[in-house]
Amino acid sequence: MDRDHSVGSKSFTAVAINTAAKAGEWIKMKQGTHASLSQKSSSHDLVTEVDKGSETMIRNLIKTYFPDHAFLGEEGVAPGAEASARAIREMQDEEYLWIVDPIDGTTNFVHGFPYFVVSIALARRGEVIVGVIYDPNRDEMFVAEKGKGAYLRGKPIRVSSEERLGDALIATGFPSDTVSTLPVNLRGLQAVAPIARNVRSAGSAALHLAYVAAGRLSGFWELGLNSWDLAAGALLVQEAGGRVTDTRGEPYSLSVRHVLATNGLVHGELLQTLADAEATGF
């Protein structure tokens, strides 16, 4: 494969797909080792091993093809909102920046709940141009290229056609910050649940975004997320005809932490519902 800077977007996407598939298979294989674990510390060690191992694999594969590209992975950033905001600030102007979540849904992984994915995005000077999300348990590879649409198993996907929140299946997540962010999101849940057709939480923001893109969900919101949770999924939703903003309705960028992604048709209603409940996180 050509390794200079004239490499086309096809090659970027091919590397992202290949890398996500390899990491996903490795993670799935590691899940089998969990059965013998009994103590909490062991499950924490497993998560650390699998997160770090997956990220190292992804980084090495990408660097093999694109040694000059910048790389931002969850494992390379200290925990907490400040550190993750600073990391994306420092790196978002790079010509090419790979943004990776080596396993989104680690809590699910530990419990054997089969909803976890590998998320790989490539941004060019702050704009996401490739997004890949791979679910190894269902062998589903969601792929988007800027301006070229979104695909699942090679077939084009589109967002759902529900026009009212009352007909819409909506997803959210429960932030780990139990002091400030979680109570706000619970206010949002209390407001949305009686209006929407129903609400789901699969425990993986990246998977929720992929499902909005595929029309399986009509909308998703969550507070306190990081760039690696969102970058690939945001492009998928946009390329599938949907809309991604922050919870105030401002356009998506790599620095967004409080996200709202929908089929576009229920976006306004969901924005208003969260605003009325003072549940935007702002």
Catalytic hit among 62, 88, 99, 103:
103
Structure tokens at 196: 């929407």
Structure tokens at 6: 């004239």
Q: How far apart are CA 84 and CA 72, in angstroms?
A: 10
For residue 229, give the amino acid letter: D
Q: How far apart are CA 24 and CA 102, in angstroms?
A: 9
- Let me know if 103 is a catalytic residue: yes
Angle at 229 between CA 202 and CA 51, to 5 degrees: 85
Q: At what angle do helices 9-31 and 40-65 cross, to 10 degrees?
A: 160
For residue 119, what is the enclosing H or E element? strand 117-124
- Let me know if 4 is a catalytic residue: no
Catalytic hit among 55, 74, 239, 246:
74
Phi, psi (rounded to 5 degrees) for 36: -85, -5
Structure tokens at 270: 């969901």
Using the 8-state DSSP alphabet, how is residue 264 labeled? S
- Let me know if 135 is a catalytic residue: no
Q: How far apart are CA 265 and CA 282, in angstroms?
A: 23
What is the total residue count of the chain? 282
Residue with tokens 């497993």: 46
Q: How far apart are CA 51 and CA 100, in angstroms?
A: 11
**Number of other residues whose CB lies within 10 A of the CB of residue 90:** 11
**If 0-12 CB within 10 Å is exposed, 13-18 middle and 19+ buried, where does residue 240 land?**
buried
Catalytic hit among 55, 229, 239, 246:
229
Q: Which residues are catalytic?
A: 74, 101, 103-104, 106, 229
